[in-house]
Amino acid sequence: MRRLVLTWACAAAVAFALVPWQLQEDGFFAFEWLAQYPGDTASPGLFYALGERPWLWGVVPPILLGFATLAFERADKRFGRTLIAAGVLGLGYTLAQGFAIGIVGLKWEWLAALVGPIDTQQFGFGWGAVGVLAAFVVWISLGIAALGMFRGDAFVAGGVVISSALILAFVFFPIATMLAGAMTDEAGEIALALFFRRLFADDVWGLACFYSARPCGVMFNTVLLGLITGTVSTLMGLGFALVVVRTQFPYRRALRALTILPIITPPFVISLAIVVLFGRTGIVTSFLDAAFGIPPTRWIYGLPGVAISQLLSQIPVAFLVMIGVVEAISPSLEEASQTLGASRWQTFRTVTWPLLRPGLAAAFLLGFVESLSDFGNPLVLGGNFDVLSTKIFFAIVGAQHDPGRAAVLALLLLSLTLGAFWLQTRWLGRQSYVTVTGKGDAGLSAELPKTLRRVLYWTTIPWAVFTAVTYAIVVFGGFVRDIGRFDLEFTWRHYLDAFRVENTERGWFFSGSAWDSLATTLEVSAISAPLTAALGLLVAYLLARQRFAGSRTFEFMTMLSFAIPGTVVGVSYILAFNVPPLELTGTGLILVICFVFRNMPVGVRAGMAALAQIDKSLDEASMTLGARTGQTVQRVVMPLLRPAIVATLVFSFVHAMTAVSAVVFLTSARHNMATAYIVGRVEAGEIALAIAYSTVLIAIMALAILLIQFAVGRRELGRRGQQAAALGGH
C-alpha cells in the first residue's frame, strides 16, 4: 500500500509540474501541443501558478501531505486518516477552483466579495488536472482500506471508490446539471415561473386533437405511442414465443433467426424501409394506385408509420424475453390443472397466463421505454406527430435554441421512464413466480386451445413475412438507382458516393463522403467496448463477491443509467460538459464516455449472472494459496467469465455503432458518427445512400461479432464425466 501511495504521489507531482493543466483545443487525444510546450495554452499547473493563476498553489499542499504519509512506519489508522484528508482536501479544492473560475473569470458573486474580482480566463481540465484528480481519488480509496474497511483490501476499496467517482461524474452530475438548467433562465438565475411556464405549455399537455384539427401535446403523443408499442410488441412477442415453444410449426428456427436483426440494425433503418414501401411514391403505394386506383396519401407519416417502425424493432426483442419465460413454465402445473378437470382454455387462463406476468411486465417495460427514447423513427416518419425525443432535439439544434426548454422536456421524459419502472414493480408485487425447482419435471406442456393456435398463426406468420420483406428492402435498396421511385436499375453509385477510393498521384485517397464518419464510429466503438466490459465486469465482481456497507446504494448507482433515455443523456451531457471545468463537448472523448456509462449496466448484469454460476470456493482457494484479490480476478475469475465478456463486448460495440438518440447531440464536424451522418442524408432526401450506408454497418457489426467471439474464445470447463468417457473409449 505504501508503494501505491508513493507511485500516485509521484504521478500527481509530475502531472502538476510537467503535463498541460488545461484542455487543448484539439482535444484529449491530440498532441500538437508538444510543438509549443510550454506555451500559453499548453502549460503545466506549476507554470500557471507562477504566473496568472496563483490560486493553483492550493493544489500543492494536499500533494505534499500525500508524500508526508510515507513518514508513517505502518499503514495503520493514522496513515489512513491522513491519506483520506489529503485526498479529500485535494479533490475538493481542485474541483472548487475549477467550477468557481471559468472562461469569464470568477463566476460566484459571493466569492468575489471575499477575494476580489478575478478576470483571468480558465478553461477545462486537461491531462495534468485529470492526473492530479485521479491521484486524490486513489488516495481516498487506499486510506479507506487502511482504516480496515472492505476488510482492508485495497483492490476492493479502489474498485468501489473509483467506480463511484466515475458514476457520480458522468451519470449523476449531468442529471443534476440538467435539473438546475431546467429551473434557470439565460442569465443563470433561478426562475421558477419560467420553469412552470415551460412545464405546463400547451404544446406539451394540450389535447386539441380531440376537438379540433390541431395536434395534441407531445406528452399525450409520447405516452400514446409508448402504450401502443409496449402493448402490441408484448402480445406479438408472446405469440411468437407460444408458436415456437408450444406448436409444431415447421419454420420455428427461421422465426428465431429474425430476432438477431434488430440487434445489428441502426434504429432508423426500419423507417427508411417503411418509406420505400408505403411513401407517396413507394412500392406498395404505387402498386395500389396502378392496380386498384387507390390514390397515394401521406398516411404513413405520423402515428401509424412511427408505431409500425417501432413494432418492427421491438417485437423481436419482446420475443427474446418471452420465449425464456414460456420455456420455464413447469408442465406439471398445467397437468395438475387438467387432471382436476380444467379445459385447455381454463388451464391457459388460470395457470399459464398468471405465470407469464414477469415476462409480460419486462417485455412491456422494454417496449415502452424504448419507444419513449426512440429518436430516429419519429424524426423520419413523425410528420406533424411530435414526441418528446424530437421536441428535445429541435429545442437544442433548432431555430429556437432553448436548452432550458430541452431540459424541462428531458425531465418529463425521465419521469415517464422511472414511472414505468415503478409501475412494473407494483404490478408484479411480491408474489412468487417460481416454476423451476430442484425436483425432476418430465411432464409435457399443455396443448394450446385450437382457436388460440389459429389466432397465433394468422397474426405471427404474416408479421414475420412482413418483417423479412422490410429487411430485404434495406439490402436491396442500396443496389438500385432509386427504389423509392421504383427505378430498379442496378447501380453501385450509392456505395461509391459513400465509400469511393481513388488512386491519385499522392497515393490512395478515400474520397467517399462516409469515410470520416465510419472511421470515427469504428474508433469510438472499438475504444468504448472494452472499457465498458472492464468497468461493468469489475462492478459485477464487487457486487457479487464482496459484502460491504452501502452495496445496495452502489448497485442503484450503477443501474441508474439504464433507466435514463438516450435523449435525456444527450441533453444532460450538453448542459454539463459544455463549460469548464469538465469541458468535453466537441471532443471524441465525450462520445466514448457516453457509450461506456450508457452500456455499463449490461456488463454488470451479464457479469453478475455469470458469477452466480461460479462457486466462491474457487476464489477462496486462490486467496488461501497467497494470491491477492487482483491476481484472483485476473487468473481465476476472468477466464471463467468469457461468455459474459463476449456478451458485453458485442452489446456495447453494436450499440455504439447504432446509437442515435444520445450521440446526435454530441457529434461535431470533427467527430461525426455514422448514425448522425445517415440522419443527415435522410433529411437531405438521399434515402438510397442512407440505406447503402446502413447495409455496410450491418455487415461490419456481423463481422465484429464473429471476431469478438473468436478473440475472447470459449470458456473451457473440465468435466469428470467427459474424462471418464474418454478413458472408457481407450
pLDDT band at 592 (very low <50, low <70, confident <90, very high): very high
Q: Among 113-117, 429-433, 696-700, which is the least confidently predicted range?
A: 429-433
pLDDT of residue 128: 92
Q: What cell was used for 677?
A: 451522418
- Which of 119-123, 245-249, 596-600, 709-713 tops mean pLDDT? 596-600
pLDDT of residue 434: 43
Average of per-residue pLDDT across 706-713 = 75
pLDDT band at 489 (very low <50, low <70, confident <90, very high): confident
Q: Is 236 helix (H, G, I), strand (E, B) or coil?
A: helix
pLDDT band at 443 (very low <50, low <70, confident <90, very high): low
pTM, two decimal places? 0.82
First to last CA, the chain: 53
pLDDT band at 334 (very low <50, low <70, confident <90, very high): low
Asked whether residue 10 carries a pLDDT value surpassing 50, the answer given is yes
Asked whether residue 112 carries a pLDDT value surpassing 60, the answer given is yes
pLDDT of residue 509: 84
Asked whether residue 101 carries a pLDDT value surpassing 60, the answer given is yes
pLDDT of residue 426: 75
pLDDT of residue 232: 95
Q: What cell was used for 723?
A: 474424462
pLDDT band at 459 (very low <50, low <70, confident <90, very high): very high
Q: pLDDT tens, 492-519?
A: 998 999 999 888 777 788 889 999 999 9
CA–CA dist 631, 154 (Å, integer): 12
Average of per-residue pLDDT across 360-375 = 85
Q: pLDDT tens, 191-229?
A: 889 899 988 998 899 888 888 878 889 999 999 999 999
Question: In the chain, how many H helices and how many E strands?
Answer: 36, 6
Task: Choose among 719, 251, 184, 223: nearest CA to 457.
Answer: 251
N residues, the chain: 730
pLDDT of residue 611: 78
Element (H, E) at 488: strand 487-490
Asked whether residue 666 carries a pLDDT value surpassing 50, the answer given is yes
Asked whether residue 445 carries a pLDDT value surpassing 70, the answer given is no
- For 96-108, the three-class secondary structure string (H helix, E strand, C coil) is HHHHHEECCEECC
> Which residues face 457 on adjacent strands?
none
CA–CA dist 614, 368 (Å, integer): 34
pLDDT band at 431 (very low <50, low <70, confident <90, very high): low
- Which of 216-225, 287-296, 371-380, 443-452 tops mean pLDDT? 216-225
More confident call, 542 vs 357: 542
CA–CA dist 64, 562 (Å, integer): 40
Q: pLDDT tens, 247-278?
A: 888 887 787 777 667 767 776 788 888 988 88
More confident call, 482 vs 81: 81
Average of per-residue pLDDT across 552-562 = 80
> Which residues face 20 on adjacent strands?
44
More confident call, 612 vs 182: 182
Non-local (6+) Cβ contacts of 278 within 8 A are 284, 285, 299, 300, 305
Position 124, amino acid: G
CA–CA dist 392, 400 (Å, integer): 11
Q: What cell was used for 667?
A: 457529434
pLDDT of residue 430: 52
Asked whether residue 483 carries a pLDDT value surpassing 90, the answer given is no
Average of per-residue pLDDT across 95-123 = 83
For the chain, which domains are there?
Answer: 2-147 (no CATH), 224-385+452-491 (1.10.3720.10), 515-557+582-728 (1.10.3720.10)
Non-local (6+) Cβ contacts of 505 within 8 A are none
CA–CA dist 51, 46 (Å, integer): 9
pLDDT of residue 730: 42
Per-residue b or e along 235-269, where b marks 16 or more CB atoms closer than 10 Å to that residue's CB: bbbbbbbbbbbbeebeeeeebeebbebbbbbbbbb
pLDDT of residue 56: 94
Q: Is 340 helix (H, G, I), strand (E, B) or coil?
A: coil
| Average pLDDT taken over every residue of the chain | 83
pLDDT band at 721 (very low <50, low <70, confident <90, very high): very low
For the chain, give the percent of residues with pLDDT over 70. 90
Asked whether residue 88 carries a pLDDT value surpassing 90, the answer given is yes
pLDDT band at 110 (very low <50, low <70, confident <90, very high): confident
pLDDT of residue 486: 67
Check: CB of residue 696 under 8 Å from CB of residue 708: no
CA–CA dist 312, 137 (Å, integer): 46
Q: pLDDT tens, 115-151?
A: 777 888 888 898 999 999 999 999 999 999 999 898 8
Q: Is 177 exposed, middle or buried (0-12, 13-18, 19+ CB in 10 A)?
A: buried
Q: Among 1-15, 164-178, 246-260, 336-350, which is the least confidently predicted range?
A: 336-350
Q: Is 512 exposed, middle or buried (0-12, 13-18, 19+ CB in 10 A)?
A: middle
Asked whether residue 34 carries a pLDDT value surpassing 90, the answer given is no
Cα dist. 283→271, 277, 279, 313, 699 in Å? 14, 5, 8, 21, 25
